[in-house]
Amino acid sequence: MRGRWWIPPAILAGILGGRLAGSDLPAEKLLLVAAYILAYNLGFYRWSLDFAREAARYGPARRRFAFWQAALDSSALFLLTAFSGGLASPIRFFFIGHAVLIAFLLPSRSTYGLIVLMVAGLIGLAASEYMGWIPPHALGSAARSLETSRAASQLFTEILFLATALFLSAFLTASGKKLFRQNIDSLRQRCDALTGTNKKFKTLFSMIHALGSAQHLDQVLQTVTTEFTAALEVKGVSVKLLSDEGKSLRYAAACGLPEAFIKEKVVEVDKSPLNKRIIEGEPFVTGNVTASEMFQFGEVLTEAEIRSVLFLPLNLDGRIIGILGAYCERPNRFHQEDVDFLRLAAGIVAIALENARAYEAVEKALRERSWFMMRVAHNLRAPLAAMLSILEVVCGGYLGQLNDEQREYLRRLDRRVRTMLSLISELMFLARNREEKLSAAQAATDPTLLARRIRRTFQDKAAEKRVNFMVDAPEDLPPLRGQLEVIEQMLENLISNAIKYTPTEGSVNVRFSQTNGKIRFEISDTGIGIPAADKAKLFTEFFRAENAKSVAKDGTGLGLAIVKEIVDNLDGRILAESEEGVGTVFVVDLPTAAAPEKTAATTGPSDPTQNAMEGLTRHK
């Protein structure tokens, strides 16, 4: 549109140029043509404002607009040719360019119609010249000077060539345009196909992602049905699971389908030839449900106005575990590419379902183990407690005086019984902790109170062993997330180990501090240390290092497992740094009560034990 504003000034420049070159161009007539072009340009500008509205940008209005532009341009070109020397005017060459433009912008019929009109106009022009109705002037003077008979044949030849050139240009442009359109269309189709594939891959990706975090069967089923319903843009998706003996199929989940659909719906495989076929491994597609009589619950499908269904077996390494179904209200909705896509997805779903089942089985086994541990521990505790009371009576001399040897044996017995009791208590704690998942997220613990209780519990014990014991806790620490008793138990286990494995005259230091929104506990000692080879096994149940066994015969190997369990449940983290013969530092970071859940375990300094051994040397 913008280029056409330059035509009137170009005509003006042409007139001035012609004048300077001494030609006899009819300036007034050409100026009138320029004014005519300017006038219809303004008209078109006014019309084009309508196209600012998106709706009018395409369609018949736009085509009409282009047609009238081409038609008026043709008329202006015709006038310019007539006033600048007739058929001999060099302006005639612009007709070819114009024909190309018309063929590019207009449909074939309008193009050839306009070209026929243009050729007719040119013939009329030639005839007028021949008859002498158009006076000669500068640009046309060369032609005028020719003999009339020769001019007539020349005029005919010129018209013939010009008309041929016009039709040929239009034809070539139209063919090029058609080819161009075809290429664009095929490109668009490919683009659409690619977008579709991309969408499907995205669905698969997001489904794998979601399935990765969904552990329970219900979660997996829910994720699968919801994701597929959205990805396939269908009414609903269902999953039927095959019973272990393979005789019945149970609707385990459905998304977007009426409640009646899955409610207590069990399909007897023997009574349903369709389902039988699918669980034998064959997919089933239909685009017209009402016409089919193979459905056991056909009336429910009709009620839900479902017209197309697609069923695929859920195949796990050749074993069918169920059926994945997609339902749509549109007839003939499913095609081969949907079958291919769902087949691929069904493989992933089958794995996810099997994983979820395995996860639930492991969870059940763990629950049963915890329950068993609790029962055994509970049943053992009562007779052991009774043994201790009996030992107290015997050792107290209430049943007669004991000699030294007897007392020594009884003392050793007492120690063993107490070790067994503490082992049982720890086992019970672990079992209960796993069962209840002590996250205690709601509770908050005051670190100052915690420090006070720790100091009170251990100062006598440390003094007894002549171990230098210090608790350093600033007063202004924010509250911790978690129950006081639980955090206290975690610290008690670490500190009692530190005192136990530190020889007389050594030192044990406990330091509380705040780092990156977390409370840090550093428990350092100058004890026997942990052999480098044993560090990896440190937090496993019943592990005790050889050097520890030689220092303290009694020990359960459960203390650190309990510590780890508590720290994990509180979204904290623990690290140990140790050097055999020098000492050990345990660093525990726990989130504060205000810190958001889960982030606590991932944020914070990269290495909590950084400088820990330096600290150890300092504490020595």
Interacting residue ranges for ligand ADP, rule: CB under 6 A? 493, 497-498, 501, 525, 527-530, 538, 543-545, 548, 555-560, 584
CB 477 to ligand ADP: min, Å: 24
CB 582 to ligand ADP: min, Å: 10
CB 490 to ligand ADP: min, Å: 11
Give 26 or 557: the residue with its C-beta nearer to ligand ADP: 557
Look at residue 445 and give its three-state secondary structure. strand
Q: Which of 167, 81, 65, 153 is nearest to 122 (CA)?
A: 81
CB 531 to ligand ADP: min, Å: 8
**Cα→Cα distances 291→83, 170, 329, 333, 354, Å:** 75, 54, 14, 15, 35
CB 513 to ligand ADP: min, Å: 20
CB 371 to ligand ADP: min, Å: 23
What residues does 267 pair with on adjacent strands? 249
Which DSSP string do the residues of 206-262 spell out, in sequence order? HHHHHHHH--SHHHHHHHHHHHHHHHHT-SEEEEEEE-TTSSEEEEEEEESS-HHHH
Do 331 and 301 meet the contact criterion of CB atoms below 8 Å apart? no
Give 154 or 496: the residue with its C-beta nearer to ligand ADP: 496
Give 167 or 543: the residue with its C-beta nearer to ligand ADP: 543
Q: How far is it, in rounded angstroms, from Cα 468 to Cα 505?
A: 7
Give 83 or 501: the residue with its C-beta nearer to ligand ADP: 501
Q: Which of 551, 615, 544, 541 is nearest to 577 (CA)?
A: 615
Q: How far is it, in rounded angstroms, from Cα 322 to Cα 305?
A: 24
Which two three-digit tokens encode residue 557?
């190997």
Give 512 or 586: the residue with its C-beta nearer to ligand ADP: 586
Q: Which residue is nearest to ligand ADP (CB)?
A: 559
Q: How far is it, in rounded angstroms, from Cα 620 to Cα 618?
A: 5
Give 122 or 430: the residue with its C-beta nearer to ligand ADP: 430
Question: Please, which residues have CB within 8 angstroms of residue 316's CB and are 6 or more apart in sequence?
Answer: 350, 351, 353, 354
Q: How far is it, in rounded angstroms, from Cα 295 to Cα 589?
A: 60
Do 604 and 518 meet the contact criterion of CB atoms below 8 Å apart? yes
Give 483 or 493: the residue with its C-beta nearer to ligand ADP: 493
CB 311 to ligand ADP: min, Å: 55
CB 584 to ligand ADP: min, Å: 4
CB 617 to ligand ADP: min, Å: 16
**Cα→Cα distances 25→30, 35, 37, 82, 91, Å:** 8, 17, 18, 11, 13
Give 198 or 540: the residue with its C-beta nearer to ligand ADP: 540
> Beta-carbon neighbour count of residue 581 at 10 Å?
11
Give 79 or 545: the residue with its C-beta nearer to ligand ADP: 545
Q: Which of 595, 596, 535, 602 is nearest to 573 (CA)?
A: 602
Do 499 and 508 meet the contact criterion of CB atoms below 8 Å apart? yes
Q: How far is it, in rounded angstroms, from Cα 341 to Cα 337?
A: 6
Give 446 or 541: the residue with its C-beta nearer to ligand ADP: 541
CB 492 to ligand ADP: min, Å: 11
Question: Please, which residues have CB within 8 angstroms of residue 34's CB and are 6 or more apart in sequence?
Answer: 7, 8, 11, 12
Question: Please, which residues have CB within 8 angstroms of residue 147's CB and are 6 or more apart in sequence?
Answer: none
Give 522 or 525: the residue with its C-beta nearer to ligand ADP: 525
CB 220 to ligand ADP: min, Å: 37
Give 252 or 587: the residue with its C-beta nearer to ligand ADP: 587
CB 460 to ligand ADP: min, Å: 19
Question: Please, which residues have CB within 8 angstroms of residue 161's CB and are 6 or more apart in sequence?
Answer: none
